Amino acid sequence: MPNLRVRQAAELLGVSDDTVRRWINQGTLAVSHDTAGRKVIASEVLAEFARTNAPAPPPDPLSIGSSARNRFVGLVTKVVSDTVMTHVEMQCGPFTVVPLMSTQAAQELRLAPGSVAVAVVKATTVIVETARPGEAVASE
């Protein structure tokens, strides 16, 4: 597997170069040196670091059970509808999730910019869930 430069590791982890250097200096992230003497991180080491240091996801505001494991809590940022289909954009942390659904489904879910929703990704399908109308959304 390839070695990654500090900048590449920072981009993959969504942090600054300085943060990666701080982790290296603290001994939190192991490095080696390439033939030019630059610090490099083995991709396997970075993958393990990313797994073990991943931030906890935000609490699921719906508090429902589901077999799907890929659940992204996010804020609806854009909704574009025609008579049949609706394009929704959600900002889920650093990720933008873009589900397409029937306009009827989007209306029933009351999706609008500013809505909190959960994008559930199962294979190549994105399912958007919201609390039922009239039910309180769990918060902490």
Is residue 111's pLDDT more than 50?
Answer: yes
Give pTM, 2 decimals: 0.55
Delineate the domains of the chain, giving CATH numbers in brackets: 3-52 (1.10.1660.10), 70-129 (2.40.50.100)
Rg (CA), the chain: 20
All residues at 6 or more sequence positions from 99 whose CB lies less than 8 Å from its CB, including other chains: 88, 90, 119, 126, 127, 128
Which element (helix H / strand E) includes 12?
helix 6-13
140: pLDDT strictly greater than 50 = no
Enumerate residues 6+ apart whose C-beta is below 8 A from 5.
Answer: 38, 39, 40, 41
Question: What average pLDDT does the segment 67-74 reach?
Answer: 76
120 vs 63, which has greater pLDDT? 120
Q: How far apart are the first and last CA of the chain?
A: 42
At 139 the pLDDT is 40
pLDDT confidence of residue 57: 67
pLDDT category, 134, cuts 50, 70, 90? low
